């Protein structure tokens, strides 16, 4: 799957390839998309849980992205549902399951 960004919304965590895919952390709060301006930092030796535990996320200020467009995201936890999050003028206006969007896009047969 490669690198992805993480989006937290309503107690759920999603993965997304919509943005730069550089392991950024996003939050949706009050219907707006924010990016966490923090980043990864080294883990002090006394905090390491294994030899592989070398970095951790350190949160920073949340910056409003004023995003306009559609974000495709997939839940981190089973059943791993995919959703489309639509933002208009920075405000979350709808959430649609990818399955529903696909069904709506399929051509319908004319009644015979």
Tens digits of per-residue pLDDT, 63-107? 999 999 999 999 988 888 999 999 999 999 999 987 765 555 556
Chain Cα centroid distance, residue 68: 15
Tens digits of per-residue pLDDT, 40-72? 888 888 888 888 888 888 889 999 999 999 999
Burial of 94 (0-12, 13-18, 19+ CB in 10 A): exposed
Residue ranges covered by each domain of the chain: 5-41+55-105
* Separation of alpha carbons 39 and 41, rounded Å: 7
pTM of the model: 0.75
């Amino acid at each position: 799957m490669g690198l992805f960004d993480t989006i937290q919304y309503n107690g759920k965590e999603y993965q997304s390839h919509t943005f730069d895919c550089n392991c950024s952390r996003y939050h949706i709060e009050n219907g707006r998309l924010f990016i966490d301006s923090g980043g990864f930092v080294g883990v002090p030796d006394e905090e390491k849980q294994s030899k592989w535990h070398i970095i951790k996320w350190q949160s920073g200020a949340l910056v409003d992205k004023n995003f306009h467009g559609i974000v495709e995201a997939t839940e981190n936890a089973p059943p791993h549902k995919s959703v489309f999050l639509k933002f208009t003028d920075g405000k979350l206006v709808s959430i649609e399951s990818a399955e529903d969007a696909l069904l709506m896009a399929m051509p319908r047969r004319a009644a015979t």
